[in-house]
Structure formats: structure tokens, C-alpha cells
């Protein structure tokens, strides 16, 4: 069974998000634990979490993929911004323990004018401080498009951040199809080649989740603008090959396309129907 879902809001609680997921045919979902622009965690209701967990288990959900707020910059030049992101991420991870065994992905950050090497060092150091607090969760580095001064724009940069960790037991990678396409990895013409490169440079055993997005821009545009499925430069056929690839098909797939619930329901149905037909 394909593990497929989309990014959902938890503004009405965790149980409501899980029920939304069920209603649109999803068996995983992504969410922000707090406002993506920052702010504090909301008070948690035990009843809400309990109901959420019951829904997830009744419907055999795969791992959920929580997303760190965009505002976190693990390689910010200002130490107070890095400390803020570190402490808030640790707080998110402590909160995520109430839904055990799930994933938490984050953007490795923008070095601004410090240079990629410095950015990689700062983010590696940041991760070293966060990972001991991962609890029951796994923290995933997201592959980035290389917009502005983003790091994690190549598999080699992601591998470099990982290589500086002493313990990989709570770490992994989340591959975003829009980002790597925008980053110059041609998953339309050469998916096998891209997967081989990932395996050589990072190791497929470290890949835990996929963000399944089309892209508004051409290969190597370094833009990072998500398109609805089949309304971008990647297209449905190429994304279906990602979802059904024998080396990837067991992973959770998360749509982060510009949709409301009905649009997501439609995209999920498109993939499920095509996967059943193959």
C-alpha cells in the first residue's frame, strides 16, 4: 500500500488533521507544530492526541512527517538566531514524542554571506546539539533547491552535514522532488541516475521520506516554486515513476502542492489509481 498524504493544518487539533487525512484518502500527513513564521507551541490536549493516535492506528497510517518552521535558520550568522532555532526545534521534538516514531524534517538553512562551507559547519554543529533531544523521532535534512544562499542544494552538501555527526540513529534525509529538480537533478529524463547519485553520495539507507511536488520552473532554475501535480515542468508521469520506483516505493510521500483539501484529494486519487493500474 502506497503511503501518501499531504501537508495539513493542525489549527483544529491533531485529531481533526488525522480525520482530514482519512477523508481525502491519505495514510500519512505533514504538519507544522507551530506557526511556520515562528511563535510558541499551542497547549496540548491529551484527549486530542489520544483520538489522533486512535485514528492513525485504525487506518494503518505510515510515519508522519512534521515540518520545522521556515523561520528557523540553523546556519544564521547571528548566534541568537541559531540559539532560538535550536531551542525551539528541541521543544518541537519533545512535543512530537506524544506521537512516537515519526519524522521531523527541516531546511538546513541559508548561509547568507558567510559562504557555503561556513553554513555547512554551523548547521552540522546545530544538528549535533539537537539530535540528542530527538527522543522517539527521526530528524530529516531536506534537500533544497539552492535558492539564494541555501545550503543542502546538492546531495554532497547534505552528505557533508551528515558526515560530521557522531550518531546517525536519529538522523536521515527527506528528498523534495521540486527542490532537487530546481537544484539540477533530472528526475524526468534520468531518475535511475539521480537515485544512483543519491545512493553513492548520501546512501539510500538514509532516505526516509519524499516531498512529492511538481515545479513551476525548469530544471536547475534554483527557484523553489511548487506546482500542482502535472501542472509543472516535472509532470505526473515522471512523479509516478518516483512513487513506483522499487527503491523508493516503500517511503512516505508528502504532497506540498498549492492546494486546499479537495485538490489534495484529487492528487492522492490520481496516484492511487495509477499505482493500482501498474
Closest distance of CB 73 from Zn ion, Å? 15
Using CB under 5 A, which of 224, 239, 242, 264 touches Zn ion? 224
Cα(268)–Cα(10) distance, integer angstroms: 20
Cα(141)–Cα(166) distance, integer angstroms: 16
Residue 224 interacting entry, from Fe ion, Zn ion, none, C-beta within 5 to 8 Å by type: Zn ion
Of 103-142, binders to Fe ion (CB under 5 A) are 142
Cα(40)–Cα(43) distance, integer angstroms: 9
Residue 211 interacting entry, from Zn ion, Fe ion, none, C-beta within 5 to 8 Å by type: Fe ion
Of 236-275, binders to Fe ion (CB under 5 A) are 256
76 Cβ contact list (under 8 Å, min separation 6) = 82, 85, 109, 112, 122
Taking Cα atoms as reference points, which of 121, 175, 109 lies closest to residue 147? 109
Using CB under 5 A, which of 211, 238, 242, 259 touches Fe ion? 211
Cα(155)–Cα(167) distance, integer angstroms: 19
Contact status: 214 vs Fe ion (CB under 5 A): no
Q: Which is nearer to Zn ion, 16 or 220 (CB)?
A: 220
Closest distance of CB 278 from Fe ion, Å? 25
Contact status: 34 vs Fe ion (CB under 5 A): no
Residues in touch with Zn ion (CB under 5 A)? 224
Amino acid at each position: 500500500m502506497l503511503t501518501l498524504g499531504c501537508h495539513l493544518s493542525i489549527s483544529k487539533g491533531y485529531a481533526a488533521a488525522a480525520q482530514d487525512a482519512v477523508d481525502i484518502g491519505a495514510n500519512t500527513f505533514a504538519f507544522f507544530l507551530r506557526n511556520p513564521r515562528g511563535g510558541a507551541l499551542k497547549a496540548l490536549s491529551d484527549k486530542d492526541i489520544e483520538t489522533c493516535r486512535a485514528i492513525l492506528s485504525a487506518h494503518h497510517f505510515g510515519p508522519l512527517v512534521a515540518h520545522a518552521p521556515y523561520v528557523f535558520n540553523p546556519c544564521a550568522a547571528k548566534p541568537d538566531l541559531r540559539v532560538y532555532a535550536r531551542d525551539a526545534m528541541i521543544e518541537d521534538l519533545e512535543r512530537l514524542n506524544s506521537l512516537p516514531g515519526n519524522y521531523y524534517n527541516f531546511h538546513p538553512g541559508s548561509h547568507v554571506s558567510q559562504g557555503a562551507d561556513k553554513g555547512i559547519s554551523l548547521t552540522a554543529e546545530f544538528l549535533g546539539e539537537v539530535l540528542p533531544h530527538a527522543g522517539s523521532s527521526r530528524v530529516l535534512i531536506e534537500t533544497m533547491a539552492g535558492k539564494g544562499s541555501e545550503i543542502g542544494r546538492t546531495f554532497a552538501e547534505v552528505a557533508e552535514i551528515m558526515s560530521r555527526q557522531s550518531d546517525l540513529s536519529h538522523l536521515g534525509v527527506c528528498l523534495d522532488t521540486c527542490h532537487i529538480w530546481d537544484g539540477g537533478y533530472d528526475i524526468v529524463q534520468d531518475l535511475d541516475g539521480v537515485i544512483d547519485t543519491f545512493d553513492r553520495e548520501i546512501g539510500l539507507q538514509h532516505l526516509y521520506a519524499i516531498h512529492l511536488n511538481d515545479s513551476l520552473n525548469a530544471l536547475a532554475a534554483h527557484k523553489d516554486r511548487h506546482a500542482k501535480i502535472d501542472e509543472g515542468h516535472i509532470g505526473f508521469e515522471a512523479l509516478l515513476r518516483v512513487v513506483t520506483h522499487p527503491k523508493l516505493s516503500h517511503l512516505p510521500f508528502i504532497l506540498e502542492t498549492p492546494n486546499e483539501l479537495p485538490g489534495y484529494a484529487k492528487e492522492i486519487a490520481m496516484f492511487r489509481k495509477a499505482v493500482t493500474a501498474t
